[in-house]
Structure 1
Amino acid sequence: MSARRTPWWRFAVAVVLGLAAGAALVKITERSDFTVMGAPWIVPILLAVVGVVVFAMAWQVRQYVSGKRKYLNPAVSVYALVLSKALGLVAAALFGWYVGQILAALGHADAPFYAQAMVECGVSAVVCLADMVVGIVGERFCQLPPGEGPENPKIKAAERRRNLAAASSAESAASKASAAGTAASATSEVASR
């Protein structure tokens, strides 16, 4: 299985979309009786637990890759990679979501409801930032070194040298054949005179 690392711009897009959605939520809360602003205290706790679990799984893969662990269930390595990718992107979006709420509510910081919501969002944003880092690092931990297959840089370099040697030997053989052909035609020309 060949998986590519998540490009940095996807995290940036997730943060920006989260910022916009979080700010929009505060504006909706200002104009209605429906309030979903803030985050219950269980949210940062659960996010932290998920981050620890994903990091532990990715660390197992890291130990296996470095040779410090003899066996690792292949399913665990796949799950660790997929969860690391998902955690990084979701945490980036949630980080933007909570920071967007904080920024949009700054004008109402003196009101107790908004002040409490900003504290909740601040704690959740810090946990989400940590989870985003865990996702990025976990994805790097799950990156396996190239095997002995065709993707291996050593194999590619050896193959290139072989191809160059074959091409140069074929070229030299062709030039020798051409030189021999020219010499033979010159000899037959001299012989015919």
Structure 2
Amino acid sequence: MRTIRPAWLVVVTIVLAAVGWVATELTQRASLALPVLPLSSLATMGLIVAVCLILGFKVRRWRDGNRNKHLDPLLAARTLVLAQACAYAGAVLLGWHAGILLDQLPTISLRPDLAVIWHIVVMMGGGAAMVAAGLVVERFCKLPPEDTDAAPKPREKREGRGEEEFA
């Protein structure tokens, strides 16, 4: 499985920032509320980060030599997939709320309270935490490079392979 490319996370964040900005413009024109996730979603983000880190530390402990217990390879693979999904979901949430914040920046001086702005910033922080946790756990799942000094010699190619010689 390939590792996460940070450039893709940046692309996802930028694209979702543009989409978030457009969505905010459209909801404002329709006199609707800002399309921001509720603060209760931070609990879900925190739970995902916690589960990802717990499973990641389990894989890391086994990888670093504490092999008293058997590590199920399927669990390790699922932990890696969870870490990558966590990073991408965090990039989506970070970009979405960054686009909303960019749209709201010109109106900060007109607001009597900045609770909505802080709400958006907190949600961006949750997305950034998900990205960080995903990248860290992905590193936990990476096996150290194997010793390449004692590499076996390649087999010599035999001539006449597949052909039988009769005397």
TM-score, length-scaled by structure 1: 0.72
Cα distance in 2 for residues equivalent to 1:112 and 1:138: 41
Label 1:24 to 1:112 Cα distance change in 2 as closer, same or farther (>3 A). Answer: farther
Q: 2:55 aligns with which of 51, 54, 57?
A: 57
Cα distance in 1 for residues equivalent to 2:111 and 2:27: 14
Structure number with greater CO (CA < 8 Å, separation at least 6) is: 2
Q: 1:158 aligns with which of 125, 134, 151?
A: 151
Counterpart in the other structure of 1:86: 85
Cα distance in 2 for residues equivalent to 1:5 and 1:74: 17
Counterpart in the other structure of 1:23: 21
Equivalenced residues, count? 155
Q: What aligned pairs does 1:1-193 form with structure 2 within 5 A after superposition?
A: 3-70=1-68, 71-109=70-108, 110-111=110-111, 115-146=114-145, 152=146, 154=148, 158-159=151-152, 162=153
Name the larger-Rg structure.
1
Cα distance in 1 for residues equivalent to 2:27 and 2:111: 14
How much has 1:73 moved relative to structure 2?
A: 2.2
Letter in 1 for 2:115: Q
Runs of 5+ unmatched residues, structure 2: 157-167
Cα distance in 2 for residues equivalent to 1:54 and 1:20: 28
TM superposition outliers: structure 1 runs of 4+ over 6 Å? none
Contact kept, 8 Å, 1:92 with 1:132, in 2: the verdict is: yes
Residues 31-88 of structure 1: CA deviation (Å, up to 9, x unaligned): 0133242221111221111111101111110111111242222222111100001111
How much has 1:130 moved relative to structure 2?
A: 1.2
Query: Does the residue aligned with 1:41 lie in a helix, a strand or coil?
Result: coil
TM-score, length-scaled by structure 2: 0.82
Query: Does the residue aligned with 2:136 lie in a helix, a strand or coil?
Result: helix
Contact kept, 8 Å, 2:28 with 2:34, in 1: the verdict is: no
Task: Return the structure number with greater helix share.
Answer: 1
Contact kept, 8 Å, 2:56 with 2:141, in 1: the verdict is: yes
How much has 1:116 moved relative to structure 2?
A: 3.0
Runs of 5+ unmatched residues, structure 1: 147-151, 167-193
Contact kept, 8 Å, 2:93 with 2:127, in 1: the verdict is: yes
